[in-house]
C-alpha cells in the first residue's frame, strides 16, 4: 500500500508491520514465517503504539500482520481505533493509515464494514485456481475464493498477492485471468519465491507467461476493463520516466520496521520471521541500531552501476542473506526474473505509448462529437424560434 504518511527526513520511521499473531490456520510450503504461539494482546499493542507515537509523532502507517492477523479481528479493530486517537486527522487527512494482510479464510460482514469505516486497505494472499493453489498451500481454497468475493463487495480495490514457484509459474497467466475474470480482482501482484531453484527452464517459462500477461493486459485496456498488474505497470512507468527509478530494494530498516508481539523490532517482517538482525526492543529507551540498513541500496551493492534492470528490481536484502549469507550479494537466479520484467517493459513500451495515444485521440474525438451534437441541438432550437 502506498504510504499516506509524510516524514521530515528519509530515515524517519513512517510505517510498521505489527504482528498480531504468529499463529496461522493454513500450511503453505513456501511460507517463511515459523508458526508459534505468539499473540499480541490489545494492552501490549497499545503500549507499542504509544512508543511509536514518541518515535513517529507526525503519523504512522500500520500493516496488521502475522501469521494470520484475522484470527483476532477485534484486536485489529481495537488497535486501529486507538491509533486514530494517537494520531488524529489533520484537515481531513488521516495521520494513521491501516492495511491488513490476510490469507482469506476469515470473513465477517460486520468486521469488514468496520474496516471500511476506518479506511483500511486489504490484501489477500491467493495463488489462483485450485490446481495451482493446492500445489503448495494446505487449506480451504473454496472458502478463500468465496470470502475474497465477499470482501470485494466491500472493498472493490482489494489487492491479491499471488505467490508463484518454479512448479507453478507455467500457469501464471491462467491464474491472473482466473482471479481477474472469475473472482473479480482488479489489483494483482504476482511474486516469486525468491530463494527457490529458478532453473533456466523455469525462467523461460516465466518469460513466456509474462508475455502472455502483457497481451491479456492490453486486451483489457482496449475493452476498458480495469486491471493492474504490479510488476508490469511499475517497470513500464519506470522505463518511461513516469515515476522515479527505485534506488532502494525496499524501505526495510529505513522508514519501515516490523514489530513482534513482545516488542522486538526488526527491519522488516522477513527479518522478524527469521529472527535475524534484531534492531532492539520497542520498550527500550534507546535508538534502534539500524546500522547498515540505513545505507544499503542498489548503489551500495553495485547493482545500480552494473545492472540495467536495477531501476525496477524488487529483490530483498534479507533473502540475499538467507541464500548467500550476505545482505549485499543479490541472488543471481532471482535477478534473471527481474531483468526479464525490465527487458519486457523496455521492449513493449512503444506499443504501450501508441495505445495510450490511440485512447487519448478516441476520447478527444468523442468530446468533439458531443460538442457537435450540442451545437446542432442549439441551432435547431434557434431555427424554431
Q: Which of 56-65, 90-99, 309-318, 367-376 has the lowest average pLDDT?
A: 367-376
Report which of residues 149 and 381 the model is more confident about.
149
- Per-residue pLDDT at 3: 39
Which pLDDT band holds residue 240 (cuts at 50, 70, 90)? very high
Answer whether residue 176 shows pLDDT above 60.
Answer: yes
- Per-residue pLDDT at 262: 94
Which pLDDT band holds residue 10 (cuts at 50, 70, 90)? low
- Per-residue pLDDT at 4: 40
CB 257 within 8 A of CB 282: no
Instruction: Express as a percent the part of the chain with pLDDT over 70.
Output: 97
Answer whether residue 157 shows pLDDT above 80.
Answer: yes
- Per-residue pLDDT at 385: 66
Report which of residues 32 and 244 the model is more confident about.
244
Which pLDDT band holds residue 9 (cuts at 50, 70, 90)? low
* Each residue's pLDDT tens digit, 56-108: 999 999 999 999 999 999 999 999 999 999 999 999 899 999 999 999 999 99
Answer whether residue 260 shows pLDDT above 90.
Answer: yes
Answer whether residue 193 shows pLDDT above 80.
Answer: yes
pTM of the predicted structure, to 2 decimals: 0.90
pLDDT mean across residues, the chain: 93
Answer whether residue 384 shows pLDDT above 90.
Answer: no
- Per-residue pLDDT at 8: 53
Answer whether residue 5 shows pLDDT above 70.
Answer: no
Half-sphere exposure (CA, 13 Å, Cβ side) for 180?
21
Which pLDDT band holds residue 113 (cuts at 50, 70, 90)? very high
- Dihedral sign for Cα 361, 367, 371, 376, please: positive
Residue range 172-193: mean pLDDT, rounded: 98
Amino acid at each position: 500500500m502506498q504510504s499516506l504518511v509524510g516524514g521530515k527526513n528519509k530515515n524517519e520511521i513512517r510505517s510498521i508491520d505489527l504482528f498480531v499473531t504468529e499463529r496461522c490456520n493454513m500450511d503453505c510450503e513456501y511460507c517463511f514465517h515459523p508458526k508459534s504461539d505468539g499473540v499480541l494482546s490489545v494492552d501490549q499493542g497499545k503500549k507499542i503504539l504509544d512508543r511509536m507515537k514518541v518515535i513517529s509523532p507526525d503519523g504512522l502507517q500500520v500493516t496488521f500482520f502475522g501469521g494470520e492477523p484475522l484470527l483476532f479481528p477485534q484486536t485489529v479493530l481495537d488497535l486501529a481505533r486507538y491509533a486514530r486517537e494517537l494520531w488524529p486527522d489533520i484537515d481531513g487527512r488521516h495521520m494513521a493509515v491501516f492495511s491488513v494482510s490476510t490469507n482469506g479464510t476469515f470473513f465477517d460482514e460486520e468486521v469488514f464494514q468496520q474496516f471500511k469505516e476506518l479506511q483500511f486497505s486489504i490484501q489477500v494472499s491467493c495463488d489462483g485456481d485450485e490446481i495451482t493453489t493446492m500445489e503448495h498451500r494446505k487449506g480451504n481454497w473454496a472458502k478463500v475464493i468465496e470470502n475474497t468475493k465477499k470482501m470485494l463487495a466491500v472493498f472493490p480495490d482489494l489487492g491479491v498477492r499471488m505467490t508463484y514457484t518454479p512448479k507453478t509459474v507455467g500457469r501464471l497467466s491462467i491464474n491472473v485471468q482466473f482471479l481477474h475474470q472469475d473472482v473479480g480482482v482488479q489489483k494483482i501482484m504476482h511474486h516469486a519465491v525468491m530463494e527457490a531453484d529458478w532453473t533456466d527452464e523455469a525462467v523461460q517459462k516465466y518469460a513466456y507467461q509474462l508475455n502472455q500477461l502483457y497481451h491479456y493486459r492490453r486486451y483489457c485496456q482496449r475493452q476498458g476493463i480495469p486491471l493492474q498488474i504490479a510488476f508490469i505497470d511499475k517497470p513500464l512507468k519506470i522505463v518511461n520516466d513516469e515515476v522515479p527509478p527505485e534506488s532502494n530494494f525496499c524501505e526495510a530498516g529505513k522508514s519501515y520496521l516490523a514489530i513482534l508481539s513482545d516488542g522486538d523490532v526488526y527491519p522488516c517482517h522477513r527479518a522478524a520471521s527469521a529472527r535475524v538482525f534484531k534492531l532492539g526492543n520497542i520498550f527500550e529507551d534507546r535508538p534502534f541500531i539500524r546500522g547498515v540498513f540505513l545505507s544499503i541500496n542498489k548503489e551500495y551493492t553495485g547493482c545500480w552501476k552494473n545492472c540495467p534492470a536495477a531501476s525496477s528490481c524488487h529483490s530483498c536484502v534479507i533473502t540475499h542473506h538467507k541464500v548467500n549469507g550476505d545482505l549485499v550479494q543479490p541472488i543471481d537466479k532471482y535477478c534473471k526474473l527481474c531483468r526479464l520484467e525490465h527487458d519486457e517493459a523496455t521492449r513493449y513500451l512503444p506499443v504501450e505509448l501508441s495505445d495510450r495515444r490511440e485512447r487519448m485521440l478516441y476520447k478527444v474525438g468523442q468530446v468533439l462529437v458531443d460538442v457537435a451534437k450540442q451545437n446542432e441541438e442549439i441551432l435547431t432550437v434557434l431555427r424554431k424560434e
